[in-house]
Amino acid sequence: MNSNDTASLLRLARQVLKTEADAIAALSPRLDQHFTEACRLLLACRGRVVVMGMGKSGHVANKIAATLASTGTPAFYVHPGEASHGDMGMITGEDVVLILSNSGETVELIIILPLIKRLGVKLVALTGHADSTLAKAADVNLDVSVAQEACPLNLAPTASTTAALAMGDALAVALFSTRGFTEEDFARSHPGGSLGRRLLLHVQDIMHTGETIPAVAEGALLSQALVEMTRKGLGMTAIVDKNNHVAGIFTDGDLRRTLEKEIDVHHTKIDEVMTRRCTTATPEILAGEALHLMESRKFNALLVVDTSGVLVGALNMHDLLRAGVV
């Protein structure tokens, strides 16, 4: 590829981005009572938002439905062609229908308008022509028209689909902000994502329990503590009293500092070198909180105790990594 080809490709790409950016920017001055009325209808929906569109608009409609559903507005996509062959049965009188069509004259959509009206459901349209059949039939029409497509032939849906997608995002965000949608709500919709794991996973879900907890009794020799640390592999051990209350902790870091003092590990008691009044966590706190605690204190491991200070678990940074919290 010569330099002229490279320059031409970059010029075309920049023109596409500018055209699409201008299309989105042009939407903002059009936001008026029609937008707020659309939001009101969607907020009042007692069923689900049914999103429709054909062709490229269908792909955008599918994405808008997914965005609405993941941000607190129950929604799903119905293909207009399938709606004419049975899928209209998926729509109930408590739903709101949201239809995308740049022309507002898409045949597959116009055919089912009478059926939508017969159900008595509210209809919100996103069109590029306010005088189109779809726009006139809608309870609310949002103008997503564009001056031109980014396609050099002004034919392929490019800027128009970008504008429709941006308007869909504007609706979704306005709705979830009005609903008071929180990070925790988002996490419940995305339990498989890192945010979901940080906001829904608790320490008790990932901590080591029972025989897998590294622990030695007060008065044990340092050598015994080292054996326990090696066996359990968490880079530390708890030191507990006769009632299993945490008296202290001994970590890999403590070991390095102890060895620098040339202490005899076979004759020194763990009580002499352990860290007393150590920071602990409770089982019910979020794993994300434990991560913040460990990062802020520069810990690699943490003991978990119940409300009376009894040792019930332990975890380290590797446990958080495996759980996808980090």
Task: For 140-189, write each residue's pLDDT tens digit.
Answer: 999 999 999 998 888 789 999 999 999 999 999 999 888 766 555 555 55
Phi, then psi, of 194 in degrees rounded to 5: -65, -35
**Which of 32, 42, 29, 24 is closest to 171 using CA atoms?**
42
DSSP 310: B
Question: Please, is 326 exposed, middle or buried when counting C-beta atoms within 10 Å of its C-beta (0-12, 13-18, 19+)?
Answer: middle
Alpha carbons 241 and 239: distance in angstroms, whole number: 7
- Amino acid 178: pLDDT: 82
- Amino acid 46: pLDDT: 93
Domains of the chain: 3-181 (3.40.50.10490), 203-322 (3.10.580.10)
Amino acid at residue number 183: E
- Amino acid 264: pLDDT: 87
Task: For 196-233, write each residue's pLDDT tens digit.
Answer: 555 668 899 999 999 999 999 999 999 999 999 999 99
> Would you write out the chain's pLDDT as a tens digit for each of its 326 residues?
666 788 899 999 999 999 999 999 999 999 999 999 999 999 999 999 999 999 999 999 999 999 999 888 999 999 999 988 878 889 999 999 999 999 999 999 999 999 999 999 999 999 999 999 999 999 999 999 999 999 888 878 999 999 999 999 999 999 988 876 655 555 555 555 555 555 668 899 999 999 999 999 999 999 999 999 999 999 999 999 999 999 999 999 889 888 888 888 899 999 999 999 899 999 998 888 888 888 988 888 999 999 999 999 999 999 888 887 76
Residue for token digits 């503590």? 225
